[in-house]
């Protein structure tokens, strides 16, 4: 099999590359966005904008193909974020998107509930350290609550009890 070497992008191309990665995400091509962010990180390790877009691109893939890098990889990139608020917020986002992906694949509602509750815990912690005027963590928390209510999700223990009574 032929071995290919990745090419490095130029440092002065990073701003346009990040803009392009964001566009690919918004166009529904998270794999391309992920690739671009990895190229940026090769040239500028620790680039916070590249890490954020990469985390989002990875979570965009949770509900898609089985070959998605998955939550573990996304959490490794969250650990590289320098801001405590961002670490908490994006940890919540990973849990939330993983829970929604499970639900979308028809997996047990109890697992989705647990994932959404985990996300809500992260969002509550993020809210406590959020910059003034930034209510993103509250908005995500509220979205999780509405999903739990709309889909009538319950914890595993409660679900197990209901099943044993039937």
Question: Domain boundaries in the chain?
Answer: 1-82, 84-166
Residue 75 and residue 91 in contact, taking contact as beta carbons nearer than 8 Å: yes
Specify the pLDDT at position 70.
Answer: 87
Whole-angstrom distance, CA of residue 142 vs CA of residue 38: 32
The closest alpha carbon to 140, from 126, 154, 161, belongs to 126
Residue bearing tokens 């290919």: 4
Residue 25 and residue 18 in contact, taking contact as beta carbons nearer than 8 Å: no
The second-level CATH assignment, the architecture, of 1-82 is: Alpha Horseshoe (1.25)
Specify the pLDDT at position 163.
Answer: 46
> Which run of H or of E encompasses 14?
helix 14-26
Whole-angstrom distance, CA of residue 125 vs CA of residue 63: 26
Q: How many CB atoms lie within 10 A of CB 29?
A: 15
Per-residue pLDDT of the chain (166 residues; tens, 9 = 90+): 789 999 999 999 999 999 999 999 999 999 999 999 999 999 999 999 999 999 999 999 998 655 678 899 999 999 999 999 999 999 999 999 999 998 866 667 788 999 999 999 999 999 999 999 999 999 999 999 999 999 999 987 765 554 444 4
């Amino acid at each position: 099999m032929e071995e290919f070497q990745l090419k490095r992008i130029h440092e002065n191309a990073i701003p346009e590359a990040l803009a392009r990665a964001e566009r690919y995400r918004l166009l529904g091509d998270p794999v391309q966005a992920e690739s671009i962010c990895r190229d940026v990180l090769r040239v500028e390790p620790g680039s916070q904008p590249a890490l954020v877009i990469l985390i989002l691109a990875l979570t965009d893939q949770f509900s898609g193909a089985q070959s998605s890098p998955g939550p573990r990889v996304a959490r490794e990139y969250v650990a590289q974020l320098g801001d405590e608020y961002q670490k908490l917020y994006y940890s919540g986002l990973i849990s939330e998107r993983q829970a929604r992906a499970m639900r979308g694949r028809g997996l047990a509602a109890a697992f989705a509930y647990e994932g959404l509750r985990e996300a809500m815990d992260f969002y509550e912690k993020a809210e406590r350290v959020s910059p003034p005027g930034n209510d993103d963590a509250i908005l995500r928390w509220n979205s999780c609550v509405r999903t739990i209510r709309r889909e009538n999700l319950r914890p595993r223990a409660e679900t197990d009890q209901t099943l044993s009574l039937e």
